[in-house]
């Protein structure tokens, strides 16, 4: 019985340690929430878009076009980016006009930048200080993003809590 307990504990520990994606997600999201909390926004929900250095350029370009072509998202969106040079971040998001931008220096987030991720959208609930409805867009499927916008527009507009 004791042996089974130890083996189970070992397997659980091993699984936790060998799943860097989960850990990455958690770390990036934690950092994003920290940054958003510092904005002291009204207790509402806000759509966010996260990008970082080294991410697939086509994925970012396609989303820039989607954002630009959706007026509602343009007005509401908060864009966060982890880059080694502030100029590189601003040069990307300069072609769109969004609600707020947050630059995160790689110097303060070295671990995060080394852990590859892809651009994603989410909803930031300022009241509860949490991220909801995370979505990784598909560069070959603009419709997925457009449907996501419609979905979050209803949610944020209605003020309903998101499951």
**Separation CA 54–CA 52 (nearest Å):** 6
Give the residue, chosen from 25, 41, 74, 92, that forms a contact with another protein under the rule CB under 8 A: 92
Sheet order of strands, 45-52 included: 100-105, 78-83, 45-52, 120-125, 130-135
- What's the min distance (Å) between Cβ of 32 and another protein? 19
Give the residue, chosen from 23, 68, 144, 153, that forms a contact with another protein under the rule CB under 8 A: 68
88/154 with CB nearer another protein: 88
Size of the site for another protein (CB under 8 A): 18
Dihedral Cα 92, 117, 101, 132, nearest 10 deg = 140
How many Å is the maximal CA-CA distance in the chain? 63
- Per-residue x/- marks for another protein, 27-66, CB under 8 A? --------------------------x-x-x--xx--xx-
């Amino acid at each position: 019985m004791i042996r089974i307990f130890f083996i189970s504990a070992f397997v659980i520990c091993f699984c936790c340690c060998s799943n860097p994606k989960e850990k990455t997600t958690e770390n990036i999201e934690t950092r994003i929430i920290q940054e958003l909390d510092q904005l002291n926004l009204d207790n509402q929900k806000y759509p966010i878009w996260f990008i970082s250095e080294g991410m697939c350029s086509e994925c970012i370009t396609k989303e820039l076009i989607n954002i630009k072509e959706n007026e509602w998202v343009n007005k509401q969106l908060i864009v966060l980016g982890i880059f080694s040079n502030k100029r590189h971040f601003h040069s990307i998001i300069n072609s769109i006009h969004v609600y707020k931008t947050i630059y995160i220096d790689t110097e303060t987030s070295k671990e995060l930048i080394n852990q590859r991720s892809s651009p994603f959208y989410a909803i930031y609930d300022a009241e509860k200080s949490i991220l909801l409805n995370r979505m990784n867009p598909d560069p070959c499927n603009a419709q997925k993003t457009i449907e996501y916008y419609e979905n979050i527009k209803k949610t944020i507009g209605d003020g309903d809590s998101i499951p």
